[in-house]
Structure formats: structure tokens, C-alpha cells
Amino acid sequence: MSLQHQLLANLIDGKFHSGEQLASELGVTRAAIWKNIKILQSEYDLDIHAVTGKGYRLSQSIELLDSKLILENLSNDCMQPEVETFLTIDSTNRYLMKKALSAKIKCQTVFAEQQTSGRGRHGRTWVSPFGGNLYFSILYPFQRTPRDITGLSLAVGVAIVEQLERQGVYSAKLKWPNDILVEGRKLCGILLELHGESHGPLAIVVGVGINISMPDSAANEIDQPWIAYQSLTRNPVSRNQLAAEFLSNVLRALQEFEQNGLEPFRERWQQRDCYMNSKVNLQLGDREITGIARGIDQQGALLLETQGQVQRYYSGEIRLRPVR
């Protein structure tokens, strides 16, 4: 564990801790404490108060993600992966895609408090401030071919929405292909990447970003309507508990999809389709197509009715927007 991580672990209670006390507990000089406080303030955008005679404290307590707690709360009926947590990382997906190059691939999960280069679909930036949301990726060895994973991101979306429903959030809907919305605002995004040969097997990396408690400083960077989980529930939110619950359900979905494909998820997805039977615009490259959304087919392609004919559209440079 880095000195910054150890230092932050001492400060998460939101109480004052003297520089002398922190230096003694962590076995470093007071100058090292001061230097790393500055790093936490500048690189992690943490509001740490420094008061002469009292020491340092966070302006509010936070719950750091803990791999041990996540594993302890993981469901017994899903695969038990290795779990790592980072204070900061460029991208959880990028980290695991490097692991996917290994000859021996095993199920692994990585969580991060902050991503400096978080990514969404088509290379778009995923705003990833420190310590408020959930950013995690799963490396999953998939014993089939690339054509067999068509629709996998839809199955992951179903798993996340069903978990939200278990937690009392019944207003979440699925937006084809990889987003979860509440009242038209984005709550969660999914990014799927893979490594392997055309004949299989594959290493699949599933990246998930869920807005839990978005700080005001980061909200201004988001270029689309968004919503946070914290605003949807009156219950106290434990990020470690949420992390374990979402991870458990996504892992179960990956196992079910590997065995049975998209079919067990298709009807469940369509029941939660936010644009089902609505008139929409579909941006496909330089073309814009207007039609009526008719759900998805057996492979997860979008079904769009135009001039009385239903056409199929697959992932790519596709953007779905309601007509206004």
C-alpha cells in the first residue's frame, strides 16, 4: 500500500490527526506527511484542512473501497475472482486488457477510486472523480468465439438494472446498447473489450461505471444529463457493499451468458427498454435515420422500423436519441 493510501486511510474518519502522530504511525518524517497531503489535495482533488495546532482532516469522511470487504460480501453463487483496488489508475479496462495478454488468463476484477483516463464507447471520456462513484472492470476468460459474445453488453446491462431493482430503484431503464438511464439521465455506462483469436477462446474485459455520489466539482465536466444513485435512495450507501452486490450479479450474468447466450436476457432487456415503440433518431456515421424502436433481435441488434420495414443495426458509430 502506497504512503498516500496509508495516509488517506488514517484521514477517512473526518477527524483531525496531527502531523506528528501521522508521521509516527506511518514511520516517515513530518515533511513526508506534508508533501503527500499536498499530493492528495492536488492530484486527487481532496479537500483536506490543515490547522495549526490540530493537524489535518478531510472536510468530510469517505469510505475507501477495500478488496477484502468486497470479497467478504460477494455472493457465494458466483465465480470468486481476484479483486484489486487502486486509489488512482489511468483506466481499469486498460489495466486488465494488459493482463489479457497473459498466457494464463483467470477471472480478475479491479476497482479504482479515480480514473485519470476513464473511457466510454468510441473513446469518449468517462468523468471519474475520486472516492464517490464505482469504477470497476472484470477480466473474464470466455471459452467461445467472438461471434458468440454478440449482445453480451446487453446482458450486463440487465444484470445491473435487476440489481438496482433489488435495492429499490425501479425507475432504471436500458438504452441500447450500453447505457442505463433514470428519468432520461445517465446513471451507468458499460464498455466491453476483448482479446483473442477468431476461433476462440477469448479474454473479455467488461468495464462498468456507476454514478454513486458525484461531487459538484466533477459534475460540470459531464456533457450530458446524469443522475447519481445517492439521490435515488433514502438508505445510507456503503460503496463496498454496493461494489460486492453489483459485481456478484454481473459475474452471474457472465456465467449465464457463456452457457446460454443472449436468449435468457432478451425479454428482460426489452421489458426495460427506455425507447421501446418510441420514435427515435439513429445516428449512423454521417447518416441520421428516423424510425420507431422495436427492441432487439436474438443477437442484440437494434430493431428500427422505417417506412413499414424493420431493419437491424449493430454496434459501431451508432447513437440513439429520442426525437424532440
Residues carrying an active site annotation? 121, 186, 321
Residue 103 has, within 13 A of its CA and on its CB side, a CA count of 0
Pair 270, 158: CB distance under 8 Å: no
> What does the H/E/C string look like for the chain?
CCHHHHHHHHHCCCCCECHHHHHHHHCCCHHHHHHHHHHHHHHCCCCEEEECCCEEEECCCCCCCCHHHHHHCCCCCCCCCEEEEECCECCHHHHHHHHCCCCCCCCEEEEECCECCCECHHHCECCCCCCCCEEEEEEEEECCCHHHHCCHHHHHHHHHHHHHHHCCCCCEEEECCCEEEECCEEEEEEEEEEEECCCCCEEEEEEEEECCCCCHHHHCCCCCCECCHHHHCCCCCCHHHHHHHHHHHHHHHHHHHHHHCCHHHHHHHHHCECCCCCEEEEEECCEEEEEEEEEECCCCCEEEEECCEEEEECCCCEEEEECC
